[in-house]
């Protein structure tokens, strides 16, 4: 059963380490999704009390994003331009210029279908700009029809004679036809307009290389590398020039530099930094980020990781400096502003935090997760009615009712409404699975109520944004005030668990069980902790206790099933997964666990497909569901269908070794040995110890022979 162990690791990790990029950042939180908010209410609540000068700040984000897209496009930074264009299309779907930039980006990257889709949009919109001709010129040139391509470029240049991208492609088509002097003039014209345009610099380098003017070729390729070091084509060409001219030392130095830009290396460093941040190893995280900041020309995520680590260490000025760099490098990203807002909140710079959260909402009105901390900021300022009004917005926007009730209850407590607090907390019991609404909730003395309510709300805000160090700090403060505080013990335990401090987490859960002897969530987490340390007997006892308390608790059956898989008791695992489906037929995890098991059994492939399809039905965009159904298709011999699903899973989780392994096997079965080798090597590069590792190595050996 290949990769079962890796699959189980994916299921049993309670708090996933995050690695975010410019447009794919997401938070493990109940409000981490984009919720549809009442836009009119949002404008009235978020922006009503902002001073005029602040209202004018970034008052037209669409124009700002378009300007950035155009600027990056003309500089030859096409990936960034495409990202900005895609963001603008999300904000303003009918913006023709954004579609033109995005279509050109797709054409440059030989994504013909996507480029043609944008062409169709431009045609339907009646767009008269240069983009249709430019996209056609690029696509046609890729087929070798250079004369027809030149006609489209000429048409584009008639519309905008000084557009650097159109001029650059005129040079590229000339270069493709070996018209070197003509190409040289076009590339020089681009550089005159945009001196840092790396594609034009590299184009000129290629002209000189073909003319065997090696010093000039090296000079221009070096300039291209300096401007866009992540383009390995430029790096490799420069290395080849150095080798050809006997400059082995220079070639070796360039090869060393190029290694940092191999796909996955940058992400590896960032993932490592996020892991250190999550684990609370703040000094090491800072040290690691300083190293990669010195390597990469632009790496905003590293500045965020460093800022967050510094904020946890209460090094305010250094943290604020890195937040500013982080935001300045991706300031049209709503997610970036949200992250910056959390940093400022941790630094207790409330005004700056508010500015970042409101900017996030201005850029993306669906940013419900940024409204939540804004309400707590209003609570800190003692604007309780305004804070409660804001929470009404999040409730109608789809945030979990128990979470909203929890925050509301503490705002009522701070306001002095103790009966309202106790009554509203009944709806908040669900934040701790198994906690009863009739629980006697902690009520501090009147003199401590304001600070208690603030710390309680900040504790959960930090937890759901992965600020575990701050959660631990606040929960320990709360426990000094009330040693029986269930929420403080619960979030302390989960945060210790996230930081891999298992013994401390076990202690915290046991303390919680002393207060709440029938709390299934505590037993479930204890079981996972014991299983993670190979204490299988205590793990099973904890899961059994959770099931005894609540026989209809599907998560307990799933966890116990995972434990049985860990100890190779497969029949018991299957029984528990089936029981989980019986008590909760709406949870996809039960189905894809069984599907993955049955995919390894030739006589169970039909049932595996049914289970996988049900998992996909329940979670159609979930990468695990897509991965499992893709794998089942592969095992049934439907390779093309399988690859379609696996590729969709990969797009969401490119660093998932199980998905890479499955893709590698699928390509091998499809006799695409190059693609198989690439995927399997990527899987083994992430980990050499997963269950499918031996199978992956066996295939790679066969390919090499």
CA 111/CA 676 separation, integer angstroms: 21
Q: Answer whether residue 237 is part of any domain.
A: yes
pLDDT for 404 = 95
Last residue of a domain, one of 259, 285, 300: 259
Q: Which residues have a Cβ under 8 Å from the Cβ of 410 and sit 6 or more positions away?
A: 379, 421, 452, 453, 454, 456, 457
* Chain segment 659-685, per-residue pLDDT in tens: 999 999 999 999 999 999 999 998 998
Residues 226, 230, 231: CA angle, nearest 5 degrees:
90
What does the block give as tokens for 465?
């944004």
pLDDT for 30 = 29
Judged by DSSP in three states, 461 sits in helix
Q: Answer whether residue 98 is part of any domain.
A: yes
The range of the structural domain enclosing residue 692 comes to 585-705
Neighbours of 126 (CB within 10 A): 7
pLDDT for 241 = 96
**Nearest of 488, 481, 490 to residue 448 by alpha carbon:** 481
Q: What distances in angstroms separate CA 647 from CA 3, 392, 661, one per listed residue?
A: 18, 40, 12
**Nearest of 354, 273, 357, 277 to residue 312 by alpha carbon:** 277
Q: Answer whether residue 264 is part of any domain.
A: no
The alpha carbons of the chain give a radius of gyration, in whole angstroms, of: 28
Q: C-alpha dihedral over 422, 427, 433, 434, to 10 degrees?
A: 70
What does the block give as tokens for 519?
């709390």
Q: Answer whether residue 598 is part of any domain.
A: yes
Q: Which residue blocks in 399-448 are alpha helix, DSSP H?
A: 401-415, 418-428
* Total count of domains within the chain: 2
Neighbours of 320 (CB within 10 A): 18
pLDDT for 363 = 85
* Chain segment 155-167, per-residue pLDDT in tens: 999 999 999 999 9
Residue 616 sits in a domain whose CATH number is 1.25.40.10
Q: Any long-range contacts for 172-181 (C-beta under 8 Å, 24+ apart)? A: 172/141, 172/203, 173/137, 173/141, 173/146, 173/149, 175/203, 175/206, 175/207, 176/141, 176/146, 177/146, 178/210, 180/207, 180/210, 180/211
Q: Transcribe 571-582 into DSSP letters.
A: HHHHHHHHHHHH
What does the block give as tokens for 67?
């300007």
CA 531/CA 439 separation, integer angstroms: 30
In this prediction the pTM is 0.80
What sign does the CA torsion over 110, 116, 121, 123 have?
positive
CA 362/CA 58 separation, integer angstroms: 8
DSSP code at position 416: T
User: Cα(first)–Cα(last) distance of the chain, in Å?
Assistant: 25
**What are the start-end ranges of the E strands in 39-86?**
none
pLDDT for 4 = 36
Q: Please list the ranges in the chain whose pLDDT falls under 50.
A: 1-57
**Scanning the structure block, which residue is given the tokens 């496009």?**
73
Q: Answer whether residue 294 is part of any domain.
A: no
pLDDT for 59 = 58
657 close to 676: Cβ distance less than 8 angstroms:
no
Q: Answer whether residue 617 is part of any domain.
A: yes
Q: Answer whether residue 305 is part of any domain.
A: no
CA 542/CA 68 separation, integer angstroms: 55
CA 263/CA 638 separation, integer angstroms: 30
Last residue of a domain, one of 201, 228, 259: 259
Judged by DSSP in three states, 500 sits in coil
pLDDT for 60 = 73
What does the block give as tokens for 96?
């023709």
Backbone phi, then psi, for 703, in 5-degree steps?
-65, -45
CA 194/CA 235 separation, integer angstroms: 21
Backbone phi, then psi, for 691, in 5-degree steps?
-60, -30
pLDDT for 7 = 37
Q: Answer whether residue 568 is part of any domain.
A: no
Q: In angstroms, how far is CA 588 from the centroid of its own chain?
A: 22
Last residue of a domain, one of 216, 240, 259: 259
């Amino acid at each position: 059963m290949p990769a079962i162990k890796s699959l189980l690791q994916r299921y049993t990790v309670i708090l996933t380490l995050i690695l975010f990029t410019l447009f794919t950042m997401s938070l493990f939180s109940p409000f981490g999704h984009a919720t549809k908010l009442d836009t009119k209410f949002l404008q009235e609540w978020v922006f009503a009390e902002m001073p005029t000068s602040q209202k004018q700040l970034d008052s037209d984000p669409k124009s700002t994003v378009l300007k950035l897209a155009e600027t990056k496009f003309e500089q030859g930074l096409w990936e960034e331009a495409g990202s900005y264009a895609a963001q603008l299309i999300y904000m303003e779907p009918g913006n023709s210029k954004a579609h033109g930039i995005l279509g050109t980006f797709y054409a440059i990257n030989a994504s013909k279908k996507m480029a043609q889709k944008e062409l169709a949009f431009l045609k339907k919109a009646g767009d008269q700009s240069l983009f249709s001709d430019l996209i056609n010129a690029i696509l046609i040139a890729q087929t070798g029809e250079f004369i027809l391509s030149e006609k489209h470029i000429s048409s584009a240049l008639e519309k905008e004679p000084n557009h650097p991208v159109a001029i650059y492609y005129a040079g590229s088509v000339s270069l493709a036809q070996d018209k070197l002097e003509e190409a040289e003039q076009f590339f020089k014209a681009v550089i005159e307009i945009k001196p840092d345009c790396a594609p034009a610099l590299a184009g000129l380098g290629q002209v000189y290389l073909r003319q065997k003017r090696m010093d000039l070729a090296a000079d221009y390729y070096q300039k291209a590398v300096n401007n866009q070091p992540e383009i390995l084509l430029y790096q490799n060409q420069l290395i080849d020039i150095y080798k050809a001219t006997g400059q082995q030392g220079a070639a070796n130095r360039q090869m060393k530099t190029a290694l940092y830009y191999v796909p996955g290396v940058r992400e590896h460093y960032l993932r490592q930094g996020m892991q250190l941040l999550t684990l609370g190893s703040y000094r090491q995280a800072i040290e690691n980020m300083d190293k990669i900041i010195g390597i990469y020309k632009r790496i905003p995520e590293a500045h965020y990781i460093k800022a967050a680590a510094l904020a946890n260490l209460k090094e305010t000025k250094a943290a604020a400096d890195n937040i500013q760099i982080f935001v300045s490098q991706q300031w049209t990203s709503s997610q970036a502003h949200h992250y910056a807002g959390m940093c400022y909140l941790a630094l207790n710079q409330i005004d700056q935090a508010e500015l970042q959260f409101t900017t996030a909402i201005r850029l993306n009105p669906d940013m419900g997760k940024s409204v939540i901390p804004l309400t707590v900021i209003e609570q800190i300022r003692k604007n309780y009615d305004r804070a409660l009004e804001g929470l009404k917005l999040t409730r109608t926007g789809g945030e979990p009712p128990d979470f909203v009730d929890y925050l509301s209850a503490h705002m009522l407590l701070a306001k002095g409404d103790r009966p309202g607090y106790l009554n509203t907390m009944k709806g908040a019991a669900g934040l701790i699975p198994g906690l009863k609404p009739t629980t006697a909730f902690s009520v501090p003395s009147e003199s401590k109520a304001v600070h208690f309510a603030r710390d309680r709300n900040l504790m959960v805000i930090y937890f759901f944004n992965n600020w575990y160090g701050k959660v631990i700090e606040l929960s320990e403060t709360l426990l000094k005030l009330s040693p029986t505080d269930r929420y403080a013990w619960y979030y302390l335990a989960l945060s210790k668990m996230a930081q891999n401090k298992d013994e401390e987490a076990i202690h915290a859960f046991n303390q919680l069980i002393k207060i709440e002897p029938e709390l299934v969530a505590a037993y479930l987490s204890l079981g996972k902790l014991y299983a993670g340390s190979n204490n299988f007997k205590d793990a099973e006892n904890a899961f059994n206790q959770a099931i005894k308390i609540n026989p209809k608790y599907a998560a307990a059956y799933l966890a116990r099933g995972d434990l049985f898989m860990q100890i190779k008791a497969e029949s018991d695992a299957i029984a528990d997964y089936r029981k989980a489906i019986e008590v909760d037929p709406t949870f996809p995890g039960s189905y894809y666990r069984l599907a993955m098991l049955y995919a390894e059994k030739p006589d169970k492939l039909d049932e595996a497909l049914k289970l996988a399809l049900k998992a996909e039905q329940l979670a159609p965009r979930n990468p695990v569901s897509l991965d499992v159904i893709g794998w089942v298709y592969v095992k049934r011999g439907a390779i093309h269908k399988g690859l379609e699903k696996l590729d969709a899973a990969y797009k969401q989780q490119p660093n998932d070794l199980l998905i890479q392994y499955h893709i590698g096997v699928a390509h091998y079965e499809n006799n695409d040995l190059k693609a198989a080798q690439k995927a399997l090597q990527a899987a083994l590069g992430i980990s050499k110890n997963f269950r499918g590792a031996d199978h992956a190595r066996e295939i790679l050996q066969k390919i090499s022979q």
